[in-house]
Amino acid sequence: MKIALVKEIEVGENRVALIPDTVARLVKQGLEIWVETGAGEGAFFSDRAYEEAGAQLSSDTAMLWGDSDVVLKVSLPKEQEINQMREGTTLISFLNPLGKPELVQQLANCKVTAFGMELIPRTSRAQSMDALSSQAGVAGYKAVLIAAAALPKFFPMLTTAAGTIKPAKVFVIGAGVAGLQAIATARRLGAVVEAFDIRPAVKEEVQSLGARFVEVTLDEDTVAEGGYAKEVSEASKQRTQELIAEHVQQADIVITTAQVPGKKAPLLVSEEMVQQMKPGSVIVDLAAEQGGNCAGTEAGKDVVRHGVTIIGPINLPSSMPVNASQMYAKNISTLLQYLIKEGQLQLNFDDDIIASTCITHGGEILNQRVKDVLAQMSAAV
Ligand code: NAD
């Protein structure tokens, strides 16, 4: 079976789907790995390292896309890439199926079997394939470093001959994967950290990282299937808003990471809250690409509102491509090995990992949510 690792062409994407170490492991298992020349360049993995790991190099992009059984990738494929694929080829990549359902339609039209890495279920069985988590951890870490660099203050408490400096106060909203890594990083830098989440189950994890958990008691269940948060009622929103306002006002840095899968990010930090923060404070809104948790966030930009810098970073994992690629490579190679039995891809749709991750097969879209979004789109035309 021929597996192709292609070069990312998305502007700003430095990650690569396999690193030389993972290639060596796959080659040892008898898989034939082809690597596009320069594929690892953005993440500092040389062609030579892939060759030494047992891969075959090629600069023939059309051959790699058109002549392989499986194509591995990080960011969404472009139309011209999909058009080069032959029927029956398997593509494994991030695909943003709910945000870009038209891309899924194109994959189905080309009869490609597509696996969306963002659809790996968050179960313990699939943990080592969970690319959303591995990449969110990178984002949570980097968000704090960005905030620290933008803050006109120290993070740790300092006792010096020139006086005592108070530690910075960090407030993290949303204590999922990115939020927990942000808490841990801010604590390591010496800040005093508070965190809020509508899922009470995260309290212990927050506390074990040395942060204070800001608690709210709501009259409804906030956890959906799979342990993710669900959208809450207007009354609950009102109560959480009041609590958030109190803590935002006291913070030097606010890191927002709140999301409900498949929904627009909840707006949690209002313009009024921003206005009440101390000038010089910093907000890093990790949900910028989903519409933002903060009023005034602009994806990919830094804006200053009422003396507060609001940063809306996009694709932070790409800014740490070495480890982000290393973790993604582990995720994607584990899925690949899971799909291959006796040297062939075996798709058992009764298996929950395969059923939830495979979006298109045999010309059909398999994911009901994507079908619903496409139906809504065509009804609106
Ligand atoms: P996650 O699902 O693990 O965590 C999100 C957390 O938000 C959950 O704990 C959930 O309970 C909480 N939440 C939901 N609604 C809330 C509310 N109303 N109030 C308080 N908490 C609420 O998600 P994650 O993997 O940690 O990702 C977090 C965010 O970071 C997402 O928006 C994701 O897209 C984004 N992200 C951004 C980048 C980037 O480069 N900018 C990279 C990776 C992830």
Note whether 309 and 328 are same-domain residues.
no
Of 174, 168, 101, nearest to 136 by C-alpha is 174
For residues 272 and 244, give the distance between their C-alpha atoms in angstroms, rounded to a whole number.
12
- Provide the β-strand partners of residue 56: 34
| Same structural domain, 160 and 98 | no
Mean pLDDT for the stretch of residues 364-369: 93
Q: Which of 257, 263, 320 to mutate to test the pocket of ligand 1 (most atoms within 8 A of CB)?
A: 257
Does 118 lie in the same domain as 12? Answer: yes
Report the predicted TM-score, pTM, of the whole model to 2 decimal places.
0.94
Q: 112: CA distance to ligand 1 center in Å?
A: 30
Identify the DSSP state of 86.
Answer: P
Asked if residue 171 and residue 95 are part of one domain, the reply reads no
What distances in angstroms separate CA 343 from CA 3, 26, 283, one per listed residue? 12, 11, 49
Task: Write down which residue in 293, 314, 335 finishes a domain.
Answer: 314
Examine the domain organization and report whether 232 and 175 are in the same domain: yes
Residue 381 has pLDDT above 80, yes or no: no
Q: What is the pLDDT of residues 93-115, one digit of tens each?
A: 999 999 899 999 999 999 999 99
| Span from the CA of 61 to the centroid of ligand 1 (angstroms) | 36
pLDDT tens track for 37-79: 999 999 999 999 999 999 999 999 999 999 999 999 999 999 9
Tokens describing residue 376: 């809504």
Closest ligand 1 atom number to CA of residue 318? 40
- Same domain? For 216 and 73 the reply is no
Residue 347 and residue 208 share a domain: no
Domain encompassing residue 177: 137-314
Helix count (H) and strand count (E) of the chain?
13, 19
For every residue of 215-276, DSSP letters joined together read ----SS--B-GGG-B----HHHHHHHHHHHHHHHHH-SEEEE----TTSPPP--B-HHHHHT
228 is a catalytic site residue: yes
> CB of 259 closer than 6 A to ligand 1?
yes
pLDDT (mean) for 311-339? 98
Interval between CA 118 and ligand 1 midpoint (Å): 13
Are residues 291 and 165 part of one domain? yes
Residue at token pair 């409804």: 220
The verdict on 116 and 191 lying in the same domain is: no
Task: State the DSSP H helix or E strand holding residue 333, giving kind and residue range, or none if neither.
Answer: helix 321-339
Same domain, 155 and 289: yes
Q: Which residue has the tokens 């200053």?
A: 304
- Do 160 and 294 share a domain, yes or no? yes
The domain boundary residue, chosen from 265, 285, 314: 314
By DSSP bridging, strand 340-341 and strand 344-345 are antiparallel
> What integer pLDDT is reported at residue 217 of this predicted model?
79
Instruction: Indicate the top mutation candidate among 74, 142, 286 to test ligand 1's pocket, ranked by most ligand atoms within 8 A of CB.
Output: 286
Name residue 136's amino acid.
Answer: A
Q: Is the pLDDT of residue 223 over 90?
A: no
On whether both 145 and 282 belong to a single domain, the answer is: yes
Lowest pLDDT segment from 110-114, 164-168, 218-222, 363-367: 218-222
Domain with residue 85: its CATH number is 3.40.50.720
